[in-house]
Homo-oligomer: A and B are copies of this chain.
Amino acid sequence: MQQYLDSKKEDFSAFVSNVQQHICNSLEAVDGAHNFRIEDWEREGFGHGSTRIISEGNVIEKGGVNVSVVKSTLPEVLQKKLNVEESKFFVTGVSLVIHPKNPFVPTVHANYRYFELYDHQTGELKDQWFGGGADLTPYYLFTEDARHFHQTHKDVCDQFDPGFYPQFKKECDEYFYNHHRNESRGIGGLFFDYMRPNEQHSAHQLFQFAEKAGYAFTDAYLPILTKRKDHEWNEEHRFWQEVRRGRYVEFNLIHDRGTLFGLKTKGRIESILMSLPPKVRWVYNHQPETGSPEAKLVEHLKPIDWINY
């Protein structure tokens, strides 16, 4: 694999900053009430980042679009997981979660990241990979929204490799799954990880793919946000949204590798946990009524070919 290594540290760092700005600008334009609050942070010997948070906006109840750049030593538990010896690593990424106020607007998550691993002694680049994706978590199901979200991401994938979309869609379905509930977190999207340059795709092509996918976020989500943000809702819809947000918390704290990685590497807690929804409920054994829109959503929380649905 060594032969394909070609550092994309500078390119990827520039991309995450630029796409963060682009996404924040686009969301601010739709929200209208508040701008993102910018909190730049730096921790010596660890890294730096820019956390951008919006709270109690017109449209967005809570949202974060974060960038971080971390250069550190791999903790032991991750050495084991990655099957490497003591190593230095570099990782940069953009990570966002948007929790809209209106229960008819889905929550959305996207993350694009780039990882380099170096020999502890020589500092030589030993390994590199790309990871990322985007997925949608509706509280009420609109088939056309699910289709649009998937189609937008498929279009980006198809520019690079016809095998990308089917593979990454499947990986997303597998990854964002609440095993303890036997249900998907939402209606999926893309997920890829440990994507290393090889004879099919150079590091530069993989970078370009991540970049295009990152910029496609606004094409995939903003039309849905705009279309549903003024949908009428009442307290019962809100109740359901808060119950379902509980499942989101369960996924992030029990299953999510990104959250785990952040906690294990002693990342900045408030930036990591900005993904958690603002108001959440746990109601013992709550079951939606048969035939209700709430039950319809739950019936669709499984792998579905949304493009042809």
Contact = CB atoms under 8 A, between A and B. Distances in A.
Interface of A: 39, 53, 55, 62, 64, 180-181, 242, 246, 249-250, 253-254, 263, 269-270, 273-274, 276-285
Contacts of A284: 53, 55, 62, 64, 270, 274
**A39, A181, A278: most-surrounded residue (chain B CB, <10 A):** A278
**A39, A274, A280, A283: most-surrounded residue (chain B CB, <10 A):** A280
Contacts of A39: 285
Given A249-B253, A253-B253, A254-B263, A273 B280 contact: no
B281 A279 contact: yes
Contact of A249 (B249, B270, B279, B283): B249
A282 B284 CA distance: 20
Nearest to A39: B285
B283 A278 contact: yes
Contacts of A285: 39, 53, 270
B281 A181 contact: no
A77 to B, nearest CB: 13
A276 B180 CA distance: 15
Given A250-B253, A263-B180, A277 B282 contact: yes
A246 B269 CA distance: 13
Given A55-B283, A246-B276, A269 B180 contact: yes
Contacts of A242: 279
A285 B55 CA distance: 11
Contact of A278 (B53, B273, B274, B282): B282
**A53, A276, A278: most-surrounded residue (chain B CB, <10 A):** A276
13 contacts: A53-B284, A62-B282, A62-B284, A180-B269, A181-B269, A249-B249, A250-B273, A253-B254, A254-B263, A270-B285, A276-B282, A278-B281, A278-B283
Contacts of A274: 284
A277 B181 CA distance: 18
Contact of A280 (B62, B64, B180, B281): B281
Contacts of A55: 283-284
Nearest to A280: B280
**3 closest Cβ pairs, A-B complex:** A253-B253, A276-B282, A270-B285
Contacts of A53: 284-285
A248 to B, nearest CB: 11
Contact of A279 (B180, B270, B273, B280): B280
A284 B51 CA distance: 10
A51 to B, nearest CB: 8
